Each structure stands twice: as structure tokens, then as C-alpha cells.
């Protein structure tokens, strides 16, 4: 198993998703000898999980049952431990399409945060692309690296612990797309430009999230014009998904 390749059976070391019911699931690290407590009883990894097919029903000690699911970036987004506010799949979908990401794309991201978007980007650019993600908080950067390792995707991502506004992405003239979701995105636009591939790439995409910074986009426009002098194509799309239960998310983007 990995987050970029489906596996059929649960193995020692996998990250699996335990599904208890509607809107009720959690991730679990599969390990020989481990046990996991659920409200339906105990799950013993060695006997109940390892070797079973993903999608199987597992009966817990108290008699109730759960389903064990193969992890996907979407399931991860719904279940990951939050270290910061995260992006949900609705916005991630639009970002992925607007940045025209596909296998082989090179993409830069900052900040890494809790890795929600990161996992989705890695999944989309695999197996030949790469994600360069920058996080200025040391523990978060380290935690992200650890998770990418556990999820079998470390070869597709480079986490750099620095301030993107001061030091950029750590790469130059390489990216097809850049995504910024930081407190002052206009300070990083210059670095975004240098990270992007030079002339040969037809359209360069830089997306800046999030709704809460709406007013500050005014300043971004000024900065953009000064830097490139080129006519910039601007469009912004807040996107809401109405599930017939809950959830709204707002997204704002800019395309260079």
C-alpha cells in the first residue's frame, strides 16, 4: 500500500482507515501485536487486519463490526491529525484542476501545514512528478516528513523548513505550478516566479488561497504588475460544496 498505489491486502506498516459508520472513521497504523480500541470492541492487528483484504468487514471483540479501507488522500484529509487549519477536498479539487496538475508535474507549495493538500498533490503528480513544499514551523515540517515516509511517498516530495517569503522554495526554474497559502502571499510572489520554469512553459500558474485574505488581494495585484510587466490573467473562484448534510468551504485563487 501507498498513497499513490493501491494494494489489495493489509500489510504490517500500512496506514489503514477504520470505518465505523457515517462520518465516523479514523486512521490506524497497522503493526504486528498492536491492538486498537473502538466502541465496538478491540481490533487485534495480527489476527484481524494483517493479511485481510482492504474493504473487508472486521468483527470487533464486543460483536460490532467495522470496515477497513485503503487510504486515499481524500480519506486522509477527513481523518488526519490537524496541526493547522487544512484545505478540504472541495478546494483541493479546484486547485488541482486550475493548476493543470498531472503525472509528471513539478509543483511548489507553501505552507505545508498539516499536509492535507500535500498528499493530494503528491497523488496527482506521481509517479514522475515532484512536490516541493516549504513549512516555516520546524515541528510541522518534521511531522510532515514522517507522515510522507509512513505513507510510502517520500520519494515524491521534498519538505524544506524555511520561510518561503525570505528564502523561497529552495529550487529555481523547475516548477509548472506554485501554490501559496500563507499569511502574506505577496511577499513570496518573487520567489514563486523564480521557482517556475522559464519561458518554455506556456502558462504559469500561481494560486493564492484562502477566503480570509480576500481584502489583501488588492495588494497582490499591485505587486504582480511590478514584477513581471506581463499581462496577467486573473480569475478567482470561491467554490462551495453543499452536501445535503453539512460542509462549506471557500476558496479564492489567482492565476498568473
Partner 1 sequence: MEGGAGARIREGDCAVLKRDEVFKAVSVLRRRKIIFEKQWFYLDNAIGHIYGTTFEVTSGGNLQPKQEVEETTTETKEAGTDNRNIVDDGKSQKLTHDDIKALKDKGIKGQEIVQQLIENSTTFRDKTEFAQDKYIKKKKKKYEAVITIVKPSTRILSTMYYAREPGKINHLRYDTLAQMLTLGNIHAGNKMIVMETCAGLVLGAVMERMGGYGSIIQMYPGGGPVRAATSCFGFPKPFFDNLHEFPLSKVQSLLSGTFSTETLPADPEENALVEEESNGLSEEKQTSLQETEEEPAPEAPMEINPTEEQDTMDINAEDGEFKENKEKENKENVREKQIKQWERRKKLKEAAALLREKNADGLIVASKFHPTPLLLSLLEFVAPSRPFVVYCQYKEPLLECYTKLRERGGVINLKLSETWLRNYQVLPDRSHPKLTMSGGGGYLLSGITVVLEKDKCDSSNSEALKMEEPSSKRCKLQDLPC
Is the Cβ of residue 51 or residue 55 nearer to partner 1 in the bound state? 55
Among 105, 112, 118, 160, binds partner 1 (CB under 8 A): 105
Q: In this complex, which beta carbon is closest to partner 1, that of residue 58 or of residue 141?
A: 58
Binding residue for partner 1, selected from 80, 171, 227, 241, defined by CB under 8 A? 241
CA distance 160 to 142: 9
User: Contact, 12 vs 21, CB < 8 A?
Assistant: no
Cβ contacts of residue 125 below 8 Å, gap of 6+?
101, 102, 103, 104, 105, 106, 107, 131, 156
| 96's grid cell | 488541482
Q: C-beta of 44: minimal distance to partner 1 in Å? A: 19
Binding-site member from 61, 217, 223, 227 for partner 1 (CB under 8 A): 217
Question: With CB under 8 A as the contact rule, which of the stretches 42-50, 87-95, 164-172, 186-194 interacts with partner 1?
Answer: 87-95
The torsion region of residue 253 among left (phi > 0), alpha (psi -120 to 50) and beta comes to beta
Candidate list 15, 18, 19, 140; residue touching partner 1; CB under 8 A: 19
* Closer CB to partner 1, 117 or 182, in the complex: 117
The Cα–Cα gap between 50 and 129 comes to 31
Strands (E), 70-195: 106-110, 130-134, 157-160, 177-180
Contact of 123 with 4, CB cutoff 8 Å: yes
Binding mask 38-77 for partner 1 (x = CB under 8 A): --x------------xxxxx-----xxx-xxxx-xxx---
Grid cell for residue 69:
479501507
Task: Rule CB under 8 A: say whether 82 interacts with partner 1.
Answer: no
Q: CB of residue 136 vs partner 1: minimum separation in angstroms?
A: 26
Residue range at the interface with partner 1 (CB under 8 A); choices 107-115, 148-156, 183-191, 243-251: 243-251
E-strand stretches of 74-218: 106-110, 130-134, 157-160, 177-180, 205-208
Shortest reach from residue 167's CB to partner 1, in Å? 26
- In this structure, the chain runs to a length of 256
Q: How far apart are CA 193 and CA 183, in angstroms?
A: 18
- Binding residues for partner 1 restricted to 119-178, rule: CB under 8 A: 120, 123-124, 126-129
**Which contiguous run of DSSP H or E holds residue 80?**
none
How many residues of this chain interact with partner 1, rule: CB under 8 A?
77
CB 229 to partner 1: min, Å: 7
Can residue 200 be called a binding residue for partner 1 (CB under 8 A)? yes
Instruction: Name the minimum Å distance from CB 29 to partner 1.
Output: 17
Amino acid at each position: 500500500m501507498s498513497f499513490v498505489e493501491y494494494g489489495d491486502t493489509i500489510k504490517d506498516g500500512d496506514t489503514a482507515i477504520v470505518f465505523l459508520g457515517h462520518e465516523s472513521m479514523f486512521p490506524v497504523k497497522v503493526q504486528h501485536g498492536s491492538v486498537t480500541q473502538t466502541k465496538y470492541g478491540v481490533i487485534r492487528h495480527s489476527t484481524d487486519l494483517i493479511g485481510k483484504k482492504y474493504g473487508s468487514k472486521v468483527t470487533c471483540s464486543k460483536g460490532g463490526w467495522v470496515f477497513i479501507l485503503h487510504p486515499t488522500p481524500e480519506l486522509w484529509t477527513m481523518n488526519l491529525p490537524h496541526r493547522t487549519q487544512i484545505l478540504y477536498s472541495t478546494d483541493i479539487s479546484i486547485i488541482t484542476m486550475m493548476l493543470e496538475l498531472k503525472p509528471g508535474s513539478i509543483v511548489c507549495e507553501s505552507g505545508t501545514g498539516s499536509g492535507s493538500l500535500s498528499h493530494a498533490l503528491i497523488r496527482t503528480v506521481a509517479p514522475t512528478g515532484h512536490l516541493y513544499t516549504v513549512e516555516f514551523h520546524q515541528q510541522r515540517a518534521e511531522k510532515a516528513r514522517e507522515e510522507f515516509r509512513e505513507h510510502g511517498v517520500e520519494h515524491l516530495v521534498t519538505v524544506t523548513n524555511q520561510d518561503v517569503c525570505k528564502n523561497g522554495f529552495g529550487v529555481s526554474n523547475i516548477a509548472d505550478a506554485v501554490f501559496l497559502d500563507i499569511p502574506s502571499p505577496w511577499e513570496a510572489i518573487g520567489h514563486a516566479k523564480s521557482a517556475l520554469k522559464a519561458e518554455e512553459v506556456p502558462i504559469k500558474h500561481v494560486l493564492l488561497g484562502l477566503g480570509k485574505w480576500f481584502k489583501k488581494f488588492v495588494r497582490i495585484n499591485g505587486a504582480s504588475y511590478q514584477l513581471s510587466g506581463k499581462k496577467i490573467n486573473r480569475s478567482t473562484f470561491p467554490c462551495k460544496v453543499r452536501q445535503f448534510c453539512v460542509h462549506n468551504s471557500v476558496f479564492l485563487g489567482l492565476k498568473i
